[in-house]
Amino acid sequence: MRDAYDLVIRGGAIVDGTGAPSRPGDVAVRDGRIAAVGNLVQGAGAAAEIDASGLVVSPGFIDVHCHDDIALINIPGVEFKTAQGVATLVCGNCGLGAAPANEQFRQFYARGTEGVLGPVEEFTWRSHREFYDTVRAAKPSANAAFLAAHGTIRIAVMGLDRGPPSDEQMAVMKEHVREAMDAGAVGLSSGLIYVPGTFARTEELIELARVVEKYGGLYVSHIRNEGSGLLDAVAEAIHIGEEAGVPVQLSHHKASGEANFGLTEQSLPLIDEARARGVGVTMDAYPYVAASTALVAIARGGRLAPGLDPHDVLIASVKHQHEYEGKRVDEIASMMDLPVEDAVQRLLREEENTPVAVMFVMDEVDVRRVLQHPQCMIGSDGLPSPTGKPHPRLYGTFPRVLGRYVREEGLLSLEEGVRRMTSLPAQTFKLTDRGEVREGYWADLVVFDPAAIIDTGTYEDPRQYPRGISSVLVNGQLVVVDGSPRQVGAGQVLARG
Ligand code: CU
Ligand code: ZN
């Protein structure tokens, strides 16, 4: 006879994801779902048991800001995420996606995007639907949801045209957004500091967001300016959502550059005011004072963006000359025996625009202020480079929030920290039956030690799994056992609920 349950996690403190106080209890899993929560009698008939005494049992974390679109195919174990307790990846952020992969986009990809998303062996897909099928076939360990990416769609339709789209181009772009939404995308993302997002006017984004509105999706934006123009850029994003009638998610909310430290004190009230008017504005953040992005985005023509000190910019990864990885730009300039601007120019040229940089541009006070906001989710923004020294957020974001900011600093309660990683993102991105420890929900679960959980990676040595997370389940299957991630094809491609 078959056991009543496939697995019982026994005797843990259940932090259910809603923000409710933790309570002792057992969690039973059957056929990929949570079959029972509460005090289950011993010997209830489980094929396997996990002893969770002294440990917390929570929903699997949802990383709302991922760039793992291609990594899901290249590295289907996505161990750097599952080891953190992440069960679901929301990909396609910052206007950067993998579809529609027409010839124009493929060429653009090879000229730089590759540095951020990773190498594509062969573009075997074109449409969003075909891409999602490709991810499914790769059997990733984690679930994945996707945003239609404005920049990718614009490249595919308009190449590098700076002007506004013609009526015909707009119609084709809308058709691509529709195709993505029909295939299950959760919304539309934009990256307005990147080419070609920089070329898009507000009206273009409103019109595309209107397509998403018909489907109940949201608009997610890496806004136009995170430095001195932060407040205007937040206002633009809110305006786009308000005009199109869609909720807005502000990506990796921050105030960048020393001259702008403290600006989040003014940006967060803009969010609160919009919410009071009925606009669904939310945000995500990662718990570090360093940012990371493509070098070309912060150093057009070799000149670093205003206010960026070359010593504050670290080269994380490159394609060919790996001796530059982990070095700061001023060091690289002296290695090359060139002025900084010429050195950056040469690096971009020789590395075909692929270098990824880590920039120390934030103030801890702003980071904390944003993390404390009740509408702030956790998004790693990790860039899954196969080489070099990626920003440690790729491996450490979630355990760092729970270890450093929850346990050590008491910035948030444990229940509230978990809510921001689970039910809040599930509701915002419409991921049905996820984000809570609740009977009938999918069995995405994490078992961790609240007294030990912590990130261990550093900027010098970022590829380190965290401590304190013993088991992670995705759709009822164990993808982390005794703290070690393993590749199991447990993930699903999630469609907007
Ligand atoms: Cu991003
Ligand atoms: Zn971004």
Tell me, what CATH number does 55's domain have? 2.30.40.10
Judged against a pLDDT cut of 90, whether residue 165 lies above it is answered with yes
pTM of full prediction above 0.75 = yes
> What distance in angstroms lies between residue 21's CA and the mean position of ligand 1's atoms?
32
Per DSSP, what are the bridge partners of residue 467? 454
Task: Say what percent of the chain tops pLDDT 70.
Answer: 99
Q: Residue 138 domain-assigned?
A: yes
- The pLDDT, as a whole number, for residue 41 is 73
Residues 144 and 237 in one domain: yes
Q: How much is the average pLDDT of 155-184?
A: 98
Which residues are 284's β-sheet partners?
377
- Does 388 reside within a domain? yes
Confidence of residue 1 (pLDDT cuts 50, 70, 90): low
b/e for 227-266, b at 16 or more Cβ within 10 A?
bbebbebbebbbbbbbbbebbbbbbbbbbbbeebbebbee
Which ligand has its closest atom nearest to the C-alpha of 92?
Answer: 1
| Segment 93-127, tens digit of pLDDT | 999 999 999 999 999 999 889 999 999 999 999 99
244 and 384 assigned to the same domain: yes
Degrees, nearest 5: CA angle 236-238-241: 110
Please tell me the distance between residue 15's alpha carbon and the centre of ligand 2 in angstroms. 30
**How far does the centroid of ligand 2 lie from the alpha carbon of residue 285, in Å?**
10
Q: Among 124-128, 332-336, 384-388, 410-414, where is mean pLDDT lowest?
A: 384-388
Q: Shortest CA distance to 7 belongs to which of 35, 49, 43, 42?
A: 49
- State the pLDDT at residue 43: 65
Going from the Cα of 124 to the center of ligand 2, the distance in angstroms, rounded, reads 26
Amino acid at the residue 485: P
Q: In the numeric block, which tokens belong to residue 50?
A: 């996990």
- Asked whether residue 106 falls in the same domain as residue 22, the answer is no
Q: According to the model, what pLDDT value does residue 129 have?
A: 98
DSSP 80-96: HHHTTTEEEEEE--TT-
How many angstroms separate the alpha carbon of residue 456 from the centre of ligand 1?
Answer: 22
Residue with tokens 């982390």: 480
What are the tokens at 31? 């056929």
State whether 395 and 471 are in the same domain: no
**Beta-ladder partners of 477:** 474
Q: Would you say residue 325 lies in a domain?
A: no
The answer to whether 81 and 89 are in contact (CB under 8 A) is: yes
How many angstroms is it from 381 CA to the middle of ligand 1? 5
Q: What's the domain count of the chain?
A: 2
Task: Please choose, from the candidates 182, 240, 135, 101, the residue with its C-alpha nearest in 3D space to the C-alpha of residue 491.
Answer: 135
Please determine, for residue 42, whether its predicted confidence score (pLDDT) is greater than 80.
Answer: no
Q: Ligand 1 centroid to 497 CA: how many Å?
A: 23
Tell how far the Cα of 9 is from the centroid of ligand 2, in angstroms: 37
Q: Do 44 and 91 belong together in one domain?
A: no
- Shared domain check, 286 and 205: yes
Q: What's the one-letter identity of residue 144?
A: A
Q: Are residues 13 and 78 in the same domain?
A: no
In a domain, 344, yes or no: no
Quote the mean pLDDT of the chain.
Answer: 97
Rounded Cα distance between 317 and 96, Å, is 18
Pair (128, 23) in one structural domain: no
Report yes or no on 208 lying in a domain.
Answer: yes
2 pLDDT exceeds 90?
A: no
CATH assignment of the domain containing 373: 3.20.20.140
The neighbourhood of ligand 2, an ion, using CB within 5 A, equals 94, 222
Ligand number nearest CA of 91 is 1
61 CA from centroid of ligand 1 (Å) = 18
Same domain, 55 and 66: no
Residue 475 included in any domain: yes
Overall average pLDDT of the 76-80 stretch:
98
Give the domain range for residue 467. 7-59+444-454+462-485
Q: Which strand (E) or helix (H) includes residue 365?
A: helix 364-372
Residue 75 lies in a domain: yes
Surrounding ion ligand 1 within 5 Å at CB are 93-94, 381
Distance from Cα 397 to the centre of ligand 2, integer Å:
15
For residue 472, report the distance from its CA to the centre of ligand 2, in Å: 27
In this structure, are 93 and 22 located in the same domain?
no
pLDDT of 263-320, one tens digit each? 999 999 999 999 999 999 999 999 999 999 999 999 988 999 988 999 999 999 999 9
CA dihedral angle for residue 276, residue 277, residue 280, residue 283, rounded to 10 degrees: -60
Rounded Cα gap, residues 187 and 108, in angstroms: 23
Residue with tokens 């273009």: 204
Ligand 2 mean position, distance from CA 198 (Å):
13
Asked whether residue 65 carries a pLDDT value surpassing 70, the answer given is yes
Please count the other Cβ atoms lying within 10 Å of the Cβ belonging to residue 271: 23
Q: How far is the CA of 222 from the centre of ligand 1 (A)?
A: 7
Residue 316 lies in a domain: no
Pairing of strands 469-474, 445-448: antiparallel
pLDDT band for position 176 (50/70/90)?
very high
Residues ≥6 apart with Cβ < 8 Å to 1? none
Question: Do residues 98 and 74 share a domain?
Answer: yes
One domain, residues 198 and 49: no
